[in-house]
Structures are given as structure tokens and as C-alpha cells.
Chain A
Amino acid sequence: MTGLVLLIPIALLCGLVALCAFFLALRSGQYDDLDGAAMRMLADGEDE
């Protein structure tokens, strides 16, 4: 029982953190240009 009291909040917190991370990613426009993101990965970026 004491284990549950500790573990369940931890598990829920982990899930919440992941959910917040997804929301942040969505907000910052990381899903706006999926095709472009796939391509930019291949860029050498020598000019940057």
C-alpha cells in the first residue's frame, strides 16, 4: 500500500511530463513541416 502511494503519483507524473512535452512540441511548430524536417536532417549545414 505504501509502495502504491509513492509509485502511482510517480507514474502519473511521468505521463504528464510526456504529455506536456508533446504540447510544447506542437506549439513550437515542430509538426508544421514534417516533410521539410525529414529533409533537413540530410542537410550538411556547412554554412551555419
Chain B
Amino acid sequence: MATQLLFAEIPAADNIESLFAVPALHCVGCIAKIEQGLAKVPGIESARVNMTDKRVAIRHDPTLEPPALKAAIAAIGFEADMLADPGVDVAAAENKALIRALAVAGFAAMNIMLLSVSIWSGADGATRQMFHWLSALIALPTVAYAGQPFFRSAFAAVRQGRTNMDVPISIGVLLTTGMSLYETLTNGHHAWFDGAVMLLFFLLAGRCLDSMMRVRARAGVAALLKQSAPGALVLDGQGHSHWTKAVDLRPGMRMLVAAGERLAADGRVVEGMSGMDIAFLTGESAPVPVGPGDMVQAGALNIDGPIHVAVTAAGPDTVIADIARLMEQAGQGKSRYVRLADRAARLYAPCVHLLAALSFAGWMIAGASVHQALLIAVAVLLITCPCALGLAVPAAQVVACGALMRRGVLVKDGSALERLAEVDEVVFDKTGTLTLGRPVPRDLDRLAAQDKAILLALACASRHPLSNALRQALNGGEAAAIENVREVAGEGVFGRYGHDDVALTRPRSLINLFGLASEYRRGNHATLLSFADALRPDAIDLIGDLKQDGLAILIASGDRPEALEDVARATGTTAIGHLRPADKLALIERLKRRGQKILMVGDGLNDGPALAAGHASMAPASASDASQLTADAVFLGDRLAPVAVTLRVARRTVRVVKQNFALAIGYNILAVPLAIAGKVTPLVAAIAMSLSSLIVVANALRLNGSAK
């Protein structure tokens, strides 16, 4: 990396690098503010923003601890979470290797084709011989380098006694190259170097598309680790506090957790009162009040005030680690799914090899020389190489994913689209999925315009969930100019507007049993604002749509059954309540055993195992990071309609992929007899291969408007 080369010249080599996720990055101003602002902080050597990943890499003095760095970013005006060391990013490294191979294959294909065109247009004798040698010189290192992804995968498959798409590709490319080399050595008329390298180029293009799609959608590798804090301030006997990494926390230690921090381990509160945001666990947005004696889980966000927590379980023993394990186990079934292209290849590969062998035998019997018969067999292999499978399938999936992305749906990979197309039953979580999962203020219309403006100004001064809800509801309005704004933890926001004292506080007078409320005061006048979790605007329409498409619908929630009644009645579906994460998983497994292909739509970490177990899964963008990471597709916005759109696009994509298979078979029916008859020259092979690739890609492009 160029930036690191620069660092090497600076003597302070013992500085370390920390990674922070800053989701609010969105413009060039943010980049400049963070990079220049952090560079001024003593102890920070430099900061570098990565906009694509929404991350900041900070090089700093090792004595500077993560909370201090987090505070430094907060002082500039951004919320940040420390990322645990992401280690080696396997998928990104694989993508880079593929791009390098593609570049080499592209360079070689162009140059060899240039030489081949001169041969086809009449170069003869010594000139042709020189061009063949030059082609060989370019092709051999290219095949050895750019062919590796295919050779490795084919070798692995063959060693396990299976065959995949890469087996016919590898055999085809290697035999063609070997045969061409022999022709070149013996002053033959035809060499197929251009065909072999072009084939590699097309197939690598397909492979690259596939891998880029995965890397793009899989933005946060360490997302689950982000949920639980990287460490905590631990109090020792003398009342001093030390920053301790999460892995070094042990039961019995005493953590000091400030407001706005996440817990690094499970524990019991020993001192202080606060509210805990455990939305990552339950999907519920309302903070849960905790006091001495209450249990709190790693990953929970402390909202109100500082608390002391005695650690009871750390690292792999925490609740969040337990759920991660459940998810991992449940996801293993999904990895056994065999992709369409590989299923097709299982049928296709033996046929192709049999055909090539038969043509070799046939020509031998007909009296041709070994050399001639081998040439024909190689031509058959080259013509039948599965370009359509290798290029057309990822092309169709990338185009469909692009169309969905414009509609606000991020699909993780091609196999997800294939699985989504097979779904026949949809299981919804309630809180955060069918509902918005955040409190929405009711009856705001009762307030006068001026009061709304004051309320917005007050709400802007606080990060409490209810303030956030007010801010969102009043978004677009003008905020009033209030003075002396101050937030009192656990109480509310206070300020002065003109001659009146104004405040947004927790309700003073009445104990609110049902739902959430806050109180707005102006002078002596107080108004109670109540909040409720509202259904997504089109939830009922969507369920109607899905039912019309012949899908079975089920609502599975961790909530009380009474809370589900309204939703179930409004949508006319069965709802099951009181389900814990493991129960949801069991429910999905039971439905799977009945032969149902389940689409799980959920948001909380409690849905994580069910999301991993479902045949396919979707999560809203408001979901916990772990759920977004597990889900096959993530949809943005408040509407549920993308679920139906995604299913429709997935089915269309599979249809186009199957059409492409049909096109590929049709092309083979035309070209293979020519190859068997010995009429395929390198020129014919080059034209046939490019043409068939263009046709299948053009067919895939029809999916571009499919998400409209």
C-alpha cells in the first residue's frame, strides 16, 4: 500500500492502527473533517477514511486507548464503533486475484487474436510459423497463471470423486493448449492458442462478476464482533480503571460502562441505574431499565448513565456468542445447496467428455491418423466448453442484482437469487419486520406549529430513542431557536424559549403501563406524547400479494401472543408468539422437514438462527448487523414491497438462466456436428465462441428492467 510505504519513513514505527466503523460518512466534507480533525489530536499520527466501507483507519500512539479515539471522533461530530481486527479478508483477496487473472487473460487474448487474424487473412510459411511461436510464448504463461482458479477447483472436485463446471473447462483448456503446442513444434497449419485464452478470458469475466457481487454486498465482515464491544474499562481494587480487551475479560472483574457504550461481556449490575438498548437481541427498540442485581448481556448499549457491572461470562460464554454459534450451525444446511450451474455441469461434463472420446474413437475406426483424430477430439472439447454456464449465469444474476439494488434491495450472491426463486412459504417476524420496529409518536397533529418547532429543537439535543423518533416524525419542519439547552441523563432535555421554560422529559405524573410516553412542557402547560410501534405502511397489502402468488404465510414472534392478535387479524394469517431464538430455529427446521422451502424475513439477533436456517432469508436495513450479515438479501426503507419484488425478480432470473442453458445447448447442437466432422478451424471456433457468449449476455441484459 502506498500510504504504508510513506509511513515506513517515519521513525515512530511502534504506532498501531485501529479501525473504526463510521456509518454516517456520506460526503467529501466528512472525509476532510475526520482526516484533518483527527490528525490534529495529540497521539494520532494520521487517519485515512475508506468511503466504500465507511471506515476510518487511525494510526496512533499505542497508549491512546479505544475510548479516547472514539471520543476524538465523536468530538468531530461522528458516531463511531471500533471494529475488531478484521484479520485477512479472504473474499476480497480472492476477488483481487481473479481481477489480476482477468487482466492477464485479457491482455493475452487481445495480442494472440491480433496474431491469429493475420494468420487467418493469409500469413503463410515462415511468417505463420513465427506468429504461432509468438502466440505460444504469450499463451503458455497466461494459461499457467490465469487458469489457476479453474485448475485448483477442478482438482479439488476430482479428488473428492465429484465433477463440477471447472473439470470440463480445465480439461478443454489444457488439451487445447497442449495440442496447439504440438502443432507449433511440428509446423502444423492450425494452432488454437487464441481459442484457449479467449475461453479463459470469458470464464474469468463470469467468475469476476460473481465474486464482485459477493464482495459488494458483504460490506461488514466483522459486524457481529462490532455488536459486542472490543473491550471495557475495568476497575481494580485501588479504584483505578484500565482498558482491557474483550478477550482478556474474566468473570468477577468489574467493568465501568459509560452512557453510550456497549457492554463487552455478560454481567450483573452492581452499581448505578440506567436504561439498556437490547434491540440487537430482541428487536425491541424501547430501552429496558436496569438497576443493581439485574443481568445485562454483552452487546447491549448503555443509554442513560454510567453503571458498574460485575462480569459473569465473557468471550465464548456470552449470550451473543451462543447465538452466533446457533447461526453457524443452522447455516451449514445452506452451504450444502448446489447451485444451478453446478447441477447443470454434473450432467453436462460427462456428456461432453463422452462425445469427445467417441469422436476420437470414431475417426480412428474410420482410418484417420492418431494425430488427426486427436485434433478433432480437441476441437469438440473446445467448442463444447461451458461458456454459457460460466458467463451467462453470473451475468444474469449480476444484472438482476443491479436492478434490485436500484429498488433498494441488496442481494448477497447468485445462489441467494436461485434459492429465493424456489420459496413456497414465508415466515415473518413481527417486531421490526412487519412493524417499523421503532416508536412512532401518535397524535402529533394536536400540537400547534410553534410547539412542534420547539419539540424538534429539544429532540435534536438528545440521542434518546424517543427523541430520535420525534426527530424523524417532525423531520422537515423548522426547529425553534431555544436557549440554555441541557440534557439531564435519565430526566430529559431542558431549555428556554422566549419567556417560557420548555422541556422534553419522561412523564412525571402518571405511570404509563401501556407503551412508551414522554412529556412535553412549556411554561406550566404539560402535554403527554405517546408512542407506539406502527405496522409498516404496506404490510397488509404485501401479505395479500404474497398469498395471491400462492405462498403460505406465517408470523413467528418472540412477543406476547396478545400483541400479535391485531396483526394476525388484519392480515388474516396464523401467528405464533413467545418464541425464543432456539424455538424459531426449531419451527423452521420442522417446516423444512415437511418439504417446505422457507423464506425467513426477520430483523433481530433473535431471528439470526432462523434466518440462517431458512432456505432463503431477508432482513430490513434497520435489522441488527448480525441479521443483515446472515440474510441473503437486505431491503432498505420503511416499505415491505421489496420482499415481493425480490421474489418476482428471483423467479425471472432463474427463468433467464434456464433460457441461457437452452441457448447454449442449441448452439452446441449446431456446432458440435461441425466439430465432429472435422470442419472446425481456429477461425470457426473463435467466431462460434464469441457469438454464443454475446447471445447469452444479451439475453441476461433483458433482466435490467425486471425490478420495475
Residues A7-31 near B (CB distance < 8 A): 8, 11-12, 15-16, 18-19, 22-23, 26-30
Contact A26 B28 (CB under 8 A): no
Question: A29–B6 Cα gap in the complex (Å)?
Answer: 14
Contact of A36 among B3, B50, B104, B107 (CB under 8 A): B50
B-side contacts of A6, CB under 8 Å: none
Q: Is B31 an interface residue (CB 8 A)?
A: yes
Q: Is B153 an interface residue (CB 8 A)?
A: no
Residue of A nearest to B96 (CB): A26
Give chain B nearest CB distance to A12 CB in angstroms. 6
Residue of B nearest to A8 (CB): B134
Contact of A15 among B31, B49, B53, B107 (CB under 8 A): B107
Contact A15 B110 (CB under 8 A): yes
Q: Is B1 an interface residue (CB 8 A)?
A: yes
Residue of A nearest to B29 (CB): A43
Given contacts A19-B103, A43-B31, contact A36 B49 (CB under 8 A): yes
Contact B134 A40 (CB under 8 A): no
Q: Is B127 an interface residue (CB 8 A)?
A: yes
Contact of A22 among B28, B31, B51, B103 (CB under 8 A): B103
Give chain A nearest CB distance to B50 CB in angstroms. 5
Q: Is B186 an interface residue (CB 8 A)?
A: no
Residue of B nearest to A29 (CB): B1
Contact of A47 among B1, B3, B31, B36 (CB under 8 A): B36
Given contacts A23-B100, A39-B28, contact A33 B51 (CB under 8 A): yes
Residue of A nearest to B36 (CB): A47
Contact A29 B2 (CB under 8 A): yes
Contact B52 A40 (CB under 8 A): no
Residue of A nearest to B1 (CB): A29
Residues B34-70 near A (CB distance < 8 A): 36, 49-53
Contact with A along B80-107 (1 / 0, CB 8 A): 0000000000000000100110011001
Given contacts A8-B134, A19-B107, A35-B52, contact A28 B2 (CB under 8 A): yes
Contact B96 A39 (CB under 8 A): no
Contact of B51 among A1, A19, A35, A47 (CB under 8 A): A35
Contact B32 A34 (CB under 8 A): no
Give chain B nearest CB distance to A43 CB in angstroms. 5
Contact B111 A12 (CB under 8 A): yes
B-side contacts of A4, CB under 8 Å: 127, 130
Contact of A29 among B3, B51, B53 (CB under 8 A): B3
Question: A23–B52 Cα gap in the complex (Å)?
Answer: 21
Question: A1–B127 Cα gap in the complex (Å)?
Answer: 8
A-side contacts of B32, CB under 8 Å: 43, 45, 47
Q: Is B670 an interface residue (CB 8 A)?
A: no
A-side contacts of B1, CB under 8 Å: 27-29
Give chain B nearest CB distance to A36 CB in angstroms. 3
Question: A29–B3 Cα gap in the complex (Å)?
Answer: 9
Residues B126-165 near A (CB distance < 8 A): 127, 130, 134, 138
Contact A40 B28 (CB under 8 A): yes
A-side contacts of B114, CB under 8 Å: 11
Contact B51 A36 (CB under 8 A): yes
Could you say which of A19, A28, A39 has the most chain B C-beta atoms within 10 Å of its C-beta?
A39
Question: A11–B112 Cα gap in the complex (Å)?
Answer: 12
Question: A36–B104 Cα gap in the complex (Å)?
Answer: 27
Q: Is B511 an interface residue (CB 8 A)?
A: no
Give chain B nearest CB distance to A23 CB in angstroms. 7
Question: A31–B1 Cα gap in the complex (Å)?
Answer: 11
Contact A33 B53 (CB under 8 A): yes
Question: A9–B2 Cα gap in the complex (Å)?
Answer: 31
A-side contacts of B130, CB under 8 Å: 4
Given contacts A26-B96, A47-B36, contact A39 B111 (CB under 8 A): no
Give chain B nearest CB distance to A21 CB in angstroms. 10
Contact of A33 among B2, B27, B52, B110 (CB under 8 A): B52
Residue of B nearest to A30 (CB): B2
Given contacts A36-B31, A39-B28, contact A26 B99 (CB under 8 A): yes
Contact B127 A34 (CB under 8 A): no
Could you say which of B51, B99, B103, B111 has the most chain A C-beta atoms within 10 Å of its C-beta?
B51
Residue of A nearest to B55 (CB): A33
B-side contacts of A1, CB under 8 Å: 127
Contact B51 A39 (CB under 8 A): yes
Contact B111 A15 (CB under 8 A): yes
Question: A22–B53 Cα gap in the complex (Å)?
Answer: 22
Residue of A nearest to B106 (CB): A19
B-side contacts of A23, CB under 8 Å: 100, 103
Contact B52 A39 (CB under 8 A): no
Question: A2–B196 Cα gap in the complex (Å)?
Answer: 29
B-side contacts of A22, CB under 8 Å: 103
Question: A36–B29 Cα gap in the complex (Å)?
Answer: 11
A-side contacts of B110, CB under 8 Å: 15
B-side contacts of A11, CB under 8 Å: 111, 114
Given contacts A26-B96, A42-B28, contact A33 B50 (CB under 8 A): yes
Give chain B nearest CB distance to A42 CB in angstroms. 5
Give chain B nearest CB distance to A19 CB in angstroms. 5
Question: A39–B138 Cα gap in the complex (Å)?
Answer: 39
A-side contacts of B53, CB under 8 Å: 33
Residue of A nearest to B114 (CB): A11
Question: A33–B38 Cα gap in the complex (Å)?
Answer: 20
Contact A34 B52 (CB under 8 A): yes
Could you say which of A34, A36, A43 has the most chain B C-beta atoms within 10 Å of its C-beta?
A36
Give the 3 A-B CB pairs with smallest separation, nearest first. Answer: A36-B51, A39-B28, A28-B2
B residues near A (Cβ < 8 Å) are 1-3, 27-28, 31-32, 36, 49-53, 96, 99-100, 103-104, 107, 110-111, 114, 127, 130, 134, 138
A residues near B (Cβ < 8 Å) are 1, 4, 8, 11-12, 15-16, 18-19, 22-23, 26-30, 32-36, 39-40, 42-43, 45, 47
29 pairs, A vs B, C-beta closer than 8 Å: A11-B114, A18-B107, A19-B103, A19-B107, A26-B96, A26-B99, A26-B100, A27-B1, A28-B1, A29-B2, A29-B3, A32-B50, A32-B52, A33-B50, A33-B52, A33-B53, A34-B52, A35-B52, A36-B31, A36-B52, A39-B27, A39-B31, A39-B51, A40-B28, A40-B31, A43-B28, A43-B31, A47-B32, A47-B36
